[in-house]
Amino acid sequence: MHIRLKIWRQEEAGSPGRMESYELKEVNEDMSFLEMLDVLNEQLMRQGVRPVEFDHDCREGICGQCGVMINGRPHGPLKNTTTCQLHMRSFRDGQEIYIEPFRAAAFPVKCDLKVDRSALDRIIQAGGFISVNTGQAPEANTTRIASPLAEAAFDAAACIGCGACVAVCKNSSAALFTSAKVTHLALLPQGKEEAQDRVLHLVNQMDAEGFGHCTNTEACEVECPQEISVLHIARMNWEFNKAHILRR
Amino acid sequence: MLDAKIPQGPLEEKWNNYKAHAKLVNPANRKKLDIIVVGTGLAGSSVAASLGEMGYRVKSFCFQDSARRAHSVAAQGGVNACKNYKNDGDSVFRMFYDTIKGGDFRAREANVYRLAECSASLIDQAVAQGVPFGREYGGYLNNRSFGGVQVSRTFYARGQTGQQLLLGAYQALMRQVHQGHVQLYARHEMLDLVVIDGKARGVIIRNMDTGAIERHSAHAVVLATGGFGKIYFLSTLAMGCNGSAIWRAHKKGALMANPSWTQIHPTSLPQSGEYQSKLTLMSESLRNDGRIWVPKRQGDGRPPNQIPEEERDYYLERRYPSFGNLSPRDIASRAAKERIDAGFGVGPLKNAVYLDFSRAIREQGEDKIKEKYGNLFRMYQKITNVNAYTEPMLISPAAHFSMGGLWVDYELMTTIPGLYALGEANFADHGANRLGANSLLQACVDGYFIAPYTMANYLADEIKTGPVDARHPAFDAAERQVKEQLQLFMAIQGREPADYFHRKLGRILYDKCGLSRSAAGLQAAITDIRELRSEFYKNLHVPGGLGLNGELEKAGRVADYLELGELMCYDALTRNESCGAHFREEYQTPDGEAMRNDKDFSFISAWGWTGSEQPPKLYMEPLQFEFVTPAVRSYK
């Protein structure tokens, strides 16, 4: 395949960026998208051009480190697929591909396609956990959890923290990410004790980090590689309102 | 001779005896003690969180952009624990025996017993953290069985057990960050260990976003930096996984044990082209229901569904009737290589075997299979564009796990006092072959339940030390050395990027120090690696500058691999036997099984660094079997 690329290049945080054009003449359709970028980088290095910096690690769709905007969509054209699991067979011979970083006020660009997503870690730090020290746990089977409930909690816990939901949202809201953690822990009996404090702290931190509000466009669910449902946002709102009312 | 400091007494009392007599640090004194933890996978996160909860001052470092992304996240199948919830005859002793037998009697009895003993508490801890393990309809925890054992002791969270366990540990870590007990440094890579008066006292760290070189001092340093299987270039590991932290500690005096014992996983996706950057793992749990076969006729080019049942060779069921498709990983990988090398391989490059679910789907229904392995089938389809519900998967062996690593004693302390190695970074529990679902277990047990006790035993004597001064000349020297090396990489100005050398090294190791090894091959590999290393220092090209620069990061890791690879070959060359993953062609039975030599090789090989271009120095730790009798490991 012959591929034409337009890639966001930015030297460092805060410096101006620009789109640059590159061409790859022999792309194999079984290559992954990131392997295509590897090949591009090797070509650039041989031409004396600084290679494109991009985030990636496990390359099997679970670590959440990769993620770029591909023709305006986070992680590209395939549904429920991270950038690393996307293969070139999803593109046409001769196609022009625009590659940009995940953009949000809370995700400053560090260099080229790399962004700083530490705001998501700070949301978890604010209360995205169950307070149990090592050694305090009771025998595991004393807490029975019906399989459907455990599975529902799992659906939310499956979030990989890639930030695609933020990148696609017109308000750069982190509501899907935050609500997934709220739901995961609020559904489980182990997490109920702290559910009220948790939702308040998480939502406050989300706001403090500069993420926007959710206006229910549901684009986040469409682009989420893990199929996290927007219904978790409804649950987060319900938990949040409940916590407020009960606190009064 | 190395002393592992195994406590006295019967096997089942050793750990309790140790805990009863280990020194403690009073809660008021813990805040005077600084601890550095490198790595935030299961071992790193769990130990940093646990030490933070106890009140120590902890700094936690990882090279990923978030602690949650460490490669434990990618473990699929499960975590073993002997809860005996299935009432199928499991016990601590049975789990201990399975693990030590699985490791081909090349692990320490006391360590392995402790691993089994602490396994049940891990499940309790993870459930309390909110890890959504698979459950039965009554709400109790479910189990499945895994390779190399005959009971069901594997707990699982769909095919994402590593992710869910890591999120539990990560969340515990984030809680400690919030409480101010742990300081977190993501995108920071350790480039050297600082040793003062023989004790580990700190690290030199590079901020990967700015290029700044930082000094961090402490009373103890924990390396929980995972395995180095990425040395083979094509592996199931993440792109950033590396051996640099442990290798640099090795060059500062920590011994490396059994570095050549690498698990080659039998069920990974085969390589499809030269551009390939990694091999994706398909969980071993698939072997519970999938059957492995190749055509009986060499070079049979028919599509798999057109090959009738009687013309298929289910070679694992044929060779190992009692374990069949659930044979341990080393055996399953070697059997696949045997068939592929003999010309029975399938797929476009004839480098794979089939993993077939047609019988399981016929017997249990597609829905049941989807429920068990849906995400794996989906991943398979994404990567290969093939629907594995209708035709068999193509699988092939790939480098996966390092049984070897830094030598540690019973306390998980390396040969440098105050330096600990946890999880895959150490060598301790898996012998010459790791059983499936024991990796997550070991990482968690080391971090949650062992290091917090054993480190206190060391730190109790550090209370009067006072803060460690990072202006000490040892820090000056280490920092200078790190900076000089980075400048050296930039100055070579050759023509080839770091990956070029990494791929070549990987090829050498797969061919000569992989699934099967021979003396002649290993000697040739040592020569080849030396030549490649010398070419690296003449012809490496690192673009850009000393700031944020992915190519500069790779250069340092590959430089270390080029030394570590040579040590692996020495290790394999000097072990004149076959055991577990270490298969020397000269030492096999007439039917191709490994021939162990307990008389001459019942020891751990621990290697000391003697300088570049010098042969390493071998230290031995004899393995004593007091409680089990090493037997021929048969799965037939």
Which residue in B has a C-alpha nearest to residue A186's C-alpha?
A: B130
Q: How far is CA B130 from each of CA A129, A190, A191, B72, B431, rounded to the nearest angstrom?
A: 8, 6, 7, 17, 32
Query: How many residues are present in chain B?
Result: 636
Report the pLDDT value the prediction gives residue A248, as an integer from 0 to 100. Answer: 65
Mean pLDDT across chain B: 96
Residue B617 tokens read as 């120095």
Does A48 lie at the interface with B, CB-CB under 8 angstroms?
Answer: yes
Query: In angstroms, what separates the C-alpha of B106 from chain A's closest C-alpha?
Result: 31
Contact A12 B174 (CB under 8 A): no
CA separation for the pair B446, B452 (Å, rounded): 9
Contact A154 B550 (CB under 8 A): no
Strands, DSSP E only, in chain A? 3-10, 17-24, 69-70, 73-74, 96-100, 109-111, 114-115
CA separation for the pair B397, B539 (Å, rounded): 32
Question: In what helix (H) or strand (E) does residue B466 lie, and over which residues does it extend?
Answer: none
pLDDT at B83 over 90: yes
Q: Cβ contacts (< 8 Å) between B496 and chain A: which residues?
A: none
Q: With beta carbons less than 8 A apart as the criterion, state whether B64 and A63 touch.
A: yes
Q: How far is CA B533 from each of CA B178, B500, B555, B557, rounded to the nearest angstrom?
A: 45, 12, 12, 13
Which residue in A has a C-alpha nearest to residue B381's C-alpha?
A: A85
Contact A63 B133 (CB under 8 A): no
Helix (H, G, I), strand (E, B) or coil at B485: helix
Query: In angstroms, what separates the C-alpha of A211 from chain B's closest C-alpha?
Result: 18
Q: With beta carbons less than 8 A apart as the criterion, state whether A195 and A185 touch.
A: yes
CA separation for the pair B170, B175 (Å, rounded): 9
CA separation for the pair A57, B316 (Å, rounded): 34
The single residue listed with the structure tokens 């699982």 is: B156
Residue B496 tokens read as 């080839």
Mean pLDDT of B420-444: 96
Cβ count within 10 A of residue A213? 12
Which residue in A has a C-alpha nearest to residue B542's C-alpha?
A: A45
Q: Cβ contacts (< 8 Å) between B281 and chain A: which residues?
A: 60
SS3 content of chain A, % helix, strand, coil (to 5): 40, 15, 45
Q: With beta carbons less than 8 A apart as the criterion, state whether B586 and B94 touch.
A: no
Mean pLDDT of B281-302: 92
Q: Cβ contacts (< 8 Å) between B184 and chain A: which residues?
A: 121
Mean pLDDT of A130-141: 97
Q: Cβ contacts (< 8 Å) between A41 and chain B: which residues?
A: 497
pLDDT at B457 over 70: yes
Contact A63 B174 (CB under 8 A): no
Q: With beta carbons less than 8 A apart as the criterion, state whether B546 and B486 touch.
A: yes
Question: In what helix (H) or strand (E) does residue B2 lie, and over which residues does it extend?
Answer: none
Report the pLDDT value the prediction gives residue B507, as an integer from 0 to 100. Answer: 96
Q: Cβ contacts (< 8 Å) between A166 and chain B: which residues?
A: none
Contact A64 B68 (CB under 8 A): yes
Residue A140 tokens read as 């595991």
Helix (H, G, I), strand (E, B) or coil at A50: coil
Report the pLDDT value the prediction gives residue B517, as an integer from 0 to 100. Answer: 97
Which residue in B has a C-alpha nearest to residue A81's C-alpha?
A: B382
Report the pLDDT value the prediction gives residue B157, as an integer from 0 to 100. Answer: 93
Residue B219 tokens read as 């009373």
The single residue listed with the structure tokens 């090789």 is: B601
Which residue in A has a C-alpha nearest to residue B127's C-alpha?
A: A140
Compare B296 and B373 and report the one with higher pLDDT. Answer: B296
How confident is the model over B26-41, as pLDDT tens digits?
A: 999 999 999 999 999 9
> Measured on CA atoms in the order A214, A215, A216, A220, is the torsion positive or negative?
negative
Q: Which residues of B are catalytic?
A: 329
Contact B163 A158 (CB under 8 A): yes
Contact A64 B66 (CB under 8 A): yes
Residue A23 tokens read as 């061409």
Phi/psi of residue B186, each to 5°? -80, 160
Q: Cβ contacts (< 8 Å) between A143 and chain B: which residues?
A: 127
Instruction: Please tell me which of the candidates B46, B130, B281 has its beta carbon nearest to residue A188.
Output: B130
Burial of A18 (0-12, 13-18, 19+ CB in 10 A): exposed
Q: With beta carbons less than 8 A apart as the criterion, state whether B360 and B290 touch.
A: yes
Q: Which one, of B272, B223, B220, B270, lies nearest residue B248 by Cα?
A: B223
Contact B124 A57 (CB under 8 A): no
Contact A34 B277 (CB under 8 A): yes
Chain A window 154-193: which residues touch B at a Cβ cutoff of 8 Å? 154, 157-158, 160-161, 184-185, 188, 190-191
Query: In angstroms, what separates the C-alpha of B383 from chain A's closest C-alpha?
Result: 6
CA separation for the pair A22, A11 (Å, rounded): 17
Does A39 lie at the interface with B, CB-CB under 8 angstroms?
Answer: yes
Contact A121 B278 (CB under 8 A): no
Does A11 lie at the interface with B, CB-CB under 8 angstroms?
Answer: no
Contact B238 A129 (CB under 8 A): no
Instruction: Please tell me which of the candidates A85, A120, A160 has its beta carbon nearest to residue B383.
Output: A85
Residue B284 tokens read as 């071993």
Chain A window 105-134: which residues touch B at a Cβ cutoff of 8 Å? 110-111, 114, 116-118, 120-121, 124-134
User: String of b and e for B134-144 (b: at least 16 CB within 10 Å)?
Assistant: bbeeeeebbbb
Query: In angstroms, what separates the C-alpha of A115 from chain B's closest C-alpha?
Result: 9
Contact B132 A154 (CB under 8 A): yes
Helices (H), B4-146: 14-21, 27-30, 42-54, 92-102, 109-129
Which residue in B has a C-alpha nearest to residue A11's C-alpha?
A: B548
CA B262, B265, B271 angle in degrees (round to 5)?
Answer: 110
Q: With beta carbons less than 8 A apart as the criterion, state whether A174 and A209 touch.
A: yes
What is the rounded radius of gyration, in angstroms, for the C-alpha atoms of chain A? 20
- Looking only at the bridges linking them, the beta strands covering A3-10 and A96-100 are parallel
CA separation for the pair A189, A192 (Å, rounded): 5
Query: In angstroms, what separates the C-alpha of A195 from chain B's closest C-alpha?
Result: 13
Q: Which one, of B368, B382, B318, B376, lies nearest residue B161 by Cα?
A: B376
Chain A window 186-225: which residues touch B at a Cβ cutoff of 8 Å? 188, 190-191
What is the ipTM for the molecules in this complex?
Answer: 0.98
How confident is the model over B128-152, as pLDDT tens digits?
A: 999 999 999 999 999 988 777 889 9
Residue A137 tokens read as 């746990």
Burial of A73 (0-12, 13-18, 19+ CB in 10 A): middle
CA separation for the pair B33, B201 (Å, rounded): 12
Does A21 lie at the interface with B, CB-CB under 8 angstroms?
Answer: no
Question: In what helix (H) or strand (E) does residue B341 lie, and over which residues does it extend?
Answer: none
CA separation for the pair B624, B105 (Å, rounded): 10
Report the pLDDT value the prediction gives residue B635, as an integer from 0 to 100. Answer: 79
The half-sphere exposure of A37 on its side-chain side, counting CA atoms within 13 A, is: 28
Residue B424 tokens read as 């895959």
Contact B138 A144 (CB under 8 A): yes
- Looking only at the bridges linking them, the beta strands covering B262-268 and B291-295 are unpaired
| B139, amino acid identity | G
Q: Which residues contact B476 (CB under 8 A, 6 or more apart)?
A: none
Instruction: Enumerate the β-bridge partners of residue B61.
Output: B38, B185
Report the pLDDT value the prediction gives residue B272, as an integer from 0 to 100. Answer: 87
Mean pLDDT of B192-213: 98
The separation between CA A107 and the C-alpha centre of its own chain, rounded to angstroms, equals 11
Report the pLDDT value the prediction gives residue B149, as an integer from 0 to 100. Answer: 84
| B137, B277, B282, B371: best to mutate for the A interface, most A CBs within 10 A | B277
CA separation for the pair B389, B380 (Å, rounded): 10
Contact A87 B157 (CB under 8 A): no
Strands, DSSP E only, in B50-104? 57-61, 79-80
Mean pLDDT of B228-240: 97
Question: In what helix (H) or strand (E) does residue A189 lie, and over which residues does it extend?
Answer: none
Report the pLDDT value the prediction gives residue B332, as an integer from 0 to 100. Answer: 94
Phi/psi of residue B433, each to 5°? -160, 130
Residue B323 tokens read as 């374990």
